[in-house]
């Protein structure tokens, strides 16, 4: 008998310990490959272009170098409808958390009723009845199921916070990208304007030469055709700028107007890439944190589904009285009751077992989603690093190409006026010079956007705050 008691007690302890295991701690069932370093070390490759290496990284405001852009970003974060919706989701999850926490406390209720009735007999007298009572009930959380339900609600609240951070991150990226898209578009517009003025000036020279018998009528018609084409390009590019303004105003949470004051400079940014172990940097991204929190939520849900198969215990108590006079309530004695109950599922045709299996499968799915999100984040950063390095090298080549094309354009026009080369040769040289200038503008824009994307791919300013906070702790 003594041996049986010890065995029974040991079995109960094992069940209790396994049932009450915290869902906050979780070990992945699949191994994760974390690199020791990035394949492209931006700080090393671009050391000549940076004035200072900062191991903690830099906040967006410290290297964007545009107060107007930062003002628009703040305005967007304050008024953008999608951000407002995400903030409401955070508030909703906070309310759900309050409900889950309330389940850990007893329920206390007060009831009161009054009625007056009279029988059908002719001599029956009307009578009044007043009833009042207080009742309380409490579910004893033996297995920690209610506690884990609260923990799941807390994790869902953190998921919504991560969703808000991700939405803010996406919004900042969109605003900054559109800002520099417009800056590049304005520079292209200025290039078109310059081309228009050049063609207009060339037309005057060629028409003057034609009237003097030095140039052919064909050259005059070709130049007039070029002038009309340049007018069309100016209108098309202006529409492009107006469209970007509408998109920016929409992100700012206002009417999509085509009027918005922005900058036109593609300033050379010197982004300082934070040093550190890649895994520590990546894990601070909102989407990666959200994927990890989803694992913890599903782990808590699995524990709850498992504990639903265990018995539940509750106690209840009540005090009540019923009198014919309101003033006599609780004066002549109080009726009371105290009870305890146990509920144990015995047969449900496998419903609870199936629910536990579903919860386990959902947990496995969350693991795979986390790994997918994690590796996608690594790929995004690696691609951004490689792309930025290649863009810096391409810019050097394009600047050389632009310089040569501009010299060739000037020489071709001088030779045409001297009668050495044809007008078509000059047109080809002019086209190449334009393409070279346009490509330089485009690559400068890509470099700026690539640096911003690299900063955002590491989680942006919010991840940087956590990185610096963790280094101090």
Q: How confident is the model at residue 324 (pLDDT cuts 50, 70, 90)?
A: confident
Residue 46 per-residue DSSP state: T
Position 19 scores a pLDDT of 38
CA distance 213 to 208: 9
Position 223 scores a pLDDT of 86
Mind listing the pLDDT tens digit for each residue in 12-26? 333 333 434 444 568
Position 1 scores a pLDDT of 38
Q: What's the mean pLDDT in 430-437?
A: 90
CA distance 456 to 447: 14
> Alpha helix (H) ranges present in 1-108?
2-19, 42-45, 60-64, 67-79, 81-102
* pLDDT for residue 158 is more than 80: yes
Position 466 scores a pLDDT of 54
* pLDDT for residue 278 is more than 80: no
Mean pLDDT comparison of 275-289, 423-437, 447-461, highest-scoring range: 423-437
Domain at 35-106+129-319+335-472, CATH class:
mainly alpha
pTM comes to: 0.79
8 A C-beta contact, residue 172 and residue 77: yes
Mind listing the pLDDT tens digit for each residue in 393-422? 899 999 999 999 999 999 998 898 888 888
Position 16 scores a pLDDT of 34
8 A C-beta contact, residue 168 and residue 77: yes
Position 248 scores a pLDDT of 94
Across 221-230, 274-283, 319-328, least confident range: 274-283
Residue 126 per-residue DSSP state: P
What percent of the chain has pLDDT above 70?
83
Q: How confident is the model at residue 109 (pLDDT cuts 50, 70, 90)?
A: very high
8 A C-beta contact, residue 461 and residue 468: no
Mind listing the pLDDT tens digit for each residue in 353-407? 999 999 999 999 999 999 999 999 999 888 888 888 898 889 999 999 999 999 9
The mean of the pLDDT values for the chain is 83
* pLDDT for residue 345 is more than 50: yes
- Candidates 87, 51, 94, 15; CA nearest to 310 is 15
Q: What's the mean pLDDT in 131-157?
A: 92
Q: How confident is the model at residue 467 (pLDDT cuts 50, 70, 90)?
A: very low
């Amino acid at each position: 008998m003594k041996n049986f008691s010890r065995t029974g007690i040991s079995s109960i302890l094992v069940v209790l310990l396994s049932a009450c295991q915290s869902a906050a701690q979780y070990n992945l069932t699949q191994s994760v490959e974390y690199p020791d370093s990035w394949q492209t070390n931006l700080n090393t490759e671009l050391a000549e272009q940076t004035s200072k290496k900062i191991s903690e990284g830099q906040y967006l405001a410290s290297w964007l170098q545009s107060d107007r852009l930062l003002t628009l970003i703040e305005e967007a974060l304050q008024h953008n409808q999608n951000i407002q919706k995400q903030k409401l989701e955070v508030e909703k999850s906070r309310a759900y958390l309050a409900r889950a926490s309330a389940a850990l406390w007893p329920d206390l209720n007060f009831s009161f009723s009054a009625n007056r009735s009279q029988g059908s007999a002719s001599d029956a007298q009307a009578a009044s009845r007043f009833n009042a009572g207080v009742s309380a009930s409490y579910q004893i959380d033996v297995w920690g199921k209610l506690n884990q339900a609260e923990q799941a609600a807390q994790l869902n609240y953190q998921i919504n916070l991560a969703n808000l951070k991700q939405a803010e991150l996406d919004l900042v990226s969109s605003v900054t990208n559109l800002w520099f898209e417009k800056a590049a578009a304005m520079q292209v517009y200025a290039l078109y304007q310059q081309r228009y003025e050049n063609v207009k000036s060339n037309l005057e020279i060629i028409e003057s030469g034609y009237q003097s018998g030095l140039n052919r009528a064909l050259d005059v018609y070709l130049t007039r055709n070029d002038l009309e084409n340049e007018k069309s390009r100016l209108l098309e590019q202006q529409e492009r700028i107006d469209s970007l303004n509408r998109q920016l105003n929409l992100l700012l949470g206002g009417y999509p107007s085509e009027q918005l004051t922005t900058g036109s400079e593609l300033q050379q940014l010197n982004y300082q890439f934070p040093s550190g172990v890649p895994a520590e940097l990546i894990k601070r991204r909102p989407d990666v944190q959200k994927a990890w929190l989803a694992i913890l939520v599903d782990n808590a849900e699995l524990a709850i589904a498992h504990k639903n198969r265990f018995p539940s215990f509750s106690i209840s108590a009540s005090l009540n009285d019923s009198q014919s006079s309101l003033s006599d309530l609780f004066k002549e004695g109080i009726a009371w009751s105290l009870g305890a109950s146990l509920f144990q599922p015995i047969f449900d045709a496998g419903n609870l077992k199936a629910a536990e299996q579903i919860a386990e499968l959902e947990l496995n799915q969350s693991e795979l989603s986390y790994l997918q999100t994690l590796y996608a984040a690594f790929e995004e950063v690696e691609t951004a690093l490689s792309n930025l390095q290649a863009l810096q090298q391409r810019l050097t080549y394009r600047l050389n190409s632009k310089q040569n094309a501009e010299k060739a354009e000037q020489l071709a026009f001088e030779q045409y006026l001297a009668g050495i080369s044809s007008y078509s040769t000059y047109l080809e040289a002019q086209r190449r010079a334009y393409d070279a200038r346009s490509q330089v503008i485009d690559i400068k824009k890509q470099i700026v956007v690539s640096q911003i994307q690299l900063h955002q791919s590491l989680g942006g300013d919010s991840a940087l705050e956590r990185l610096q906070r963790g280094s101090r702790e």
